[in-house]
């Protein structure tokens, strides 16, 4: 392991070419797994997984992925390690670096992931923070590439909350030249700094408060929950603010050939209807599966 490991805290921590290489490897791993072929490229290596936030897809996909790669994953809940008893993050990071080959952290504050990376001597992967979810974007881009045969000429719409998933997706679209329109209620958009970053990367990013404008003739329509973990006390205000932003059959009438994406878990009947999730246009479970393959590709790329 080098003294200066590569970390993956934001989707643009990799270049466009590096992103393409990771997605190519994800496709290879997907084919291998579906064909029952061994691909133990991380034989004997260990991933430490820090969780401040609960998860289904993140934990299972990383843990299963390490097993399929011939390695091992260790679940480290906040209350299971000294972090929950007040140990500084920098001490946790330096200690774990002596034990494991990489660290994945699913935490609240983005700066916590940055501190872990600053003091680690092994790669640190952002499994989700309040600001970004780059591993989800890897899976999203793999899914879009499978659906569209590439990224050229693809248009996408984000409809709903400008949350961490939206922010990483916006930058990911910029890296791959996907035209993206983000439709959010006023006051719930993605951060101005993220918009600027995406545009500096050459992304064709538009923002609006009109979901119909965003969705019309889109190839992909993406949504996520309106009330994320830690926002439960805002429920009544948010439900009122997001009225009219549901992804439903009426909205899909403006993009009848669009694929519908959602990072899950979905609050059916809120940001998306049950009928849409269960429709032929839904690719939400392809996205969920691709978390496994994309993350395996990322880990093996980081640990080469």
Tell me: is residue 49 an annotated ligand-binding position: no
Tell me: is residue 142 an annotated ligand-binding position: no
Give yes or no: 142 in active site.
no
Query: Could you tell me where the DSSP H helices lie in the chain?
Result: 16-34, 57-68, 89-97, 110-119, 134-148, 164-176, 192-200, 211-215, 235-241, 249-252, 274-277, 284-302
Q: Please tell me the chain's helix, strand, coil percentages from 3-state DSSP, rounded to the nearest 5.
A: 45, 15, 40
Query: Catalytic: which of 173, 263, 293, 295?
Result: 263
Tell me: is residue 66 an annotated ligand-binding position: no
Give yes or no: 263 in active site.
yes
Tell me: is residue 173 an annotated ligand-binding position: no
Give yes or no: 133 in active site.
yes
Query: Catalytic: which of 52, 68, 136, 142?
Result: 136
Query: Catalytic: which of 7, 25, 291, 293?
Result: 291
Closest CA to 175 of 44, 292, 301, 14: 14
Tell me: is residue 246 an annotated ligand-binding position: no
Q: What angle do CA 150, 156, 161 make, to 5 degrees?
A: 140
Give yes or no: 25 in active site.
no
Tell me: is residue 219 an annotated ligand-binding position: no
Tell me: is residue 23 an annotated ligand-binding position: no
Tell me: is residue 56 an annotated ligand-binding position: yes
Burial class (CB in 10 A: 0-12, 13-18, 19+), 12: buried
Tell me: is residue 298 an annotated ligand-binding position: no
C-alpha to C-alpha distance for 259 and 61, rounded to whole angstroms: 23
Tell me: is residue 167 an annotated ligand-binding position: no
Tell me: is residue 85 an annotated ligand-binding position: no
Tell me: is residue 263 an annotated ligand-binding position: yes
CB 267 within 8 A of CB 225: yes
**Secondary structure (3-state) at 15:** coil
Give yes or no: 136 in active site.
yes
Tell me: is residue 31 an annotated ligand-binding position: no
Give the count of alpha carbons within 13 A of 149, CB side only. 1
Query: Catalytic: which of 7, 25, 106, 262?
Result: 106
C-alpha to C-alpha distance for 180 and 162, rounded to whole angstroms: 13
Give yes or no: 24 in active site.
no
Query: Catalytic: which of 133, 145, 262, 293?
Result: 133
CA dihedral sign of residues 279, 281, 284, 287:
positive
Q: Which residues are annotated as a binding site for carbamoyl phosphate?
A: 55-58, 82, 106, 133-136, 263-264, 291
Task: Report the catalytic residues.
Answer: 106, 133, 136, 224, 263, 291
Q: Which residues are annotated as a binding site?
A: 55-58, 82, 106, 133-136, 164, 224, 228-229, 263-264, 291
Q: Which residues are annotated as a binding site for L-ornithine?
A: 164, 224, 228-229
């Amino acid at each position: 392991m080098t003294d200066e490991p590569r970390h993956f805290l934001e989707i643009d921590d990799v270049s466009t070419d590096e992103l393409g290489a990771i997605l190519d490897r994800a496709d290879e791993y997907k084919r291998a797994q579906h064909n029952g072929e061994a691909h133990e490229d991380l034989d004997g290596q260990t991933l430490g997984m820090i969780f401040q936030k609960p998860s289904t897809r993140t934990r299972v996909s990383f843990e299963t992925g390490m097993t399929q790669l011939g390695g091992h994953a260790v679940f480290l809940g906040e209350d299971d390690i000294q972090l929950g008893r007040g140990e500084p993050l920098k001490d946790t990071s330096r200690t774990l670096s002596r034990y494991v080959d990489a660290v994945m952290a699913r935490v609240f504050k983005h700066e916590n992931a940055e501190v872990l990376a600053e003091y680690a001597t092994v790669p640190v992967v952002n499994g989700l923070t309040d600001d970004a979810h780059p591993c989800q974007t890897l899976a999203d881009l793999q899914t879009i590439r499978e659906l569209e045969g590439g990224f050229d000429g693809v248009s996408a719409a984000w409809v709903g909350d400008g949350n961490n998933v939206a922010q990483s997706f916006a930058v990911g679209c910029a890296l791959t030249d996907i035209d993206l329109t983000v439709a959010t209620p006023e006051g719930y958009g993605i951060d101005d700094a993220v918009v600027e970053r995406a545009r500096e990367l050459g992304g064709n990013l538009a923002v609006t408060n009109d979901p119909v404008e965003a969705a019309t003739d889109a190839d992909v329509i993406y949504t996520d929950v309106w009330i994320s973990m830690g926002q439960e006390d805002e429920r009544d205000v948010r439900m009122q603010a997001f009225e009219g932003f549901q992804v439903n059959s009426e909205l899909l009438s403006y993009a009848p050939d669009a694929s519908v994406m959602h990072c899950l878990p979905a609050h059916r009947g809120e940001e998306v209807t049950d009928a849409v999730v269960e429709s032929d246009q839904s690719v939400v479970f392809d996205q969920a599966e691709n978390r496994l393959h994309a993350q395996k590709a990322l880990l093996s790329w980081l640990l080469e």
